[in-house]
Amino acid sequence: MRKKLAAGNWKMNGLTASLTEVEALIAAHPAPGCEVLLCPPATLVAAMAGVAKGRIAVGGQDCHAKVSGAHTGDISAQMLKDAGASHVIVGHSERRADHGETDAIVCAKAAAALAEGLIAVVCLGETEAERDSGATLTVIGAQLAGSVPEAATGATVVIAYEPVWAIGTGRTPTLDQIAEVHDFIRGELVKRFGTEAEGFRLLYGGSVKPSNAAEIFAVSNVDGALVGGASLKAADFGAIIAALG
C-alpha cells in the first residue's frame, strides 16, 4: 500500500514568525494518518526542520543539478540535505515558466536529489491552451518521460500532477479529468518501470482546499496532494490532512 502524502508548497511566502503555523499544525495533528511534508522558502528550511524535529518532513522548493560551484543564488541538493531537508520539489510549473526549465533540466535536478538521498517531487502539468486543444495527455506523457530519471523508484520519486490553469486560480478539473490523468500517469509508469510503478505516489495539485479535498482524494490513483496557499495556515492544511488521513 502506498502511504498517502499531504505536501505543502509555501512558494515565496513565510518569515521566521510563520513557523508558529508549523507548531500549531504539529500540535493539532500529532499522529496524522498520512505523511506530511512542508516545503518553505530556502531561508526557512533549517529553522523549520528544527521546529519539526522529524514529526513532519521538510523539503526545498528547487535545487541545482550540480553539487557545488559558481552558481550564484542557487542551492544544491546537498545543501538542502545539510539544512535538514528530506525532499525537494523539481519542475514546478512556475519554475518551468518563469525560469525556462526544460524536462532535461528537471530530470538533472531530480537525479541530483536522488544522488544526495533526497526524495524528488517531480511536477507535471498542462496549460489552459494545451487542455483546450486536447493535448493534455500528450503533454503530460512527454513531461513524465523527460523529467523522471532512470534511477527513480517508488521510494525516491513522487509525481505531482498540477494543471497550470488550476494553480492558485480557484478552478479545478472535474473528478473525471483528474482520474483520467492520474490513471494515464500510472499506466505510463508501468510501461517504463514495470511492477515498481505501483510504488510511485501520485499527488494532485491545483486549488486543493478543505472544501474539495475529500472528493479529490477519493479519485483513482490520487495518493495525496501538493497544496499551495492552503498550506500556509495550520487550520486549512490541517483540514486537508484530516481529509487524507
Non-local (6+) Cβ contacts of 213 within 8 A are 225, 239, 240, 243, 244
Beta strands in 23-130 (DSSP E): 35-39, 57-60, 87-90, 119-124
**Domains of the chain listed by start with CATH number:** 5-244 (3.20.20.70)
The span from the CA of 209 to the CA of 205, in Å, is 10
Q: Which residues are catalytic?
A: 92, 162
Q: In this predicted structure, what is the pLDDT of residue 176?
A: 97
35 pairs with which residues across the strands? 5
Q: In this predicted structure, what is the pLDDT of residue 171?
A: 84
> Residue 240, Cβ neighbours under 10 Å: how many?
27
In this structure, which amino acid lies at residue 32? Answer: P
DSSP for 1-34 reads: -PPPEEEEE--S---GGGHHHHHHHHHH-SS-SS
The span from the CA of 119 to the CA of 59, in Å, is 9
C-alpha cell at 24: 500549531
Q: Look up the pTM and report it.
A: 0.97
Q: In this predicted structure, what is the pLDDT of residue 169?
A: 85
Taking a C-beta distance cutoff of 8 angstroms, is the pair 82, 119 a contact?
Answer: no
Collect the ranges in the chain with pLDDT lower than 70.
Answer: none
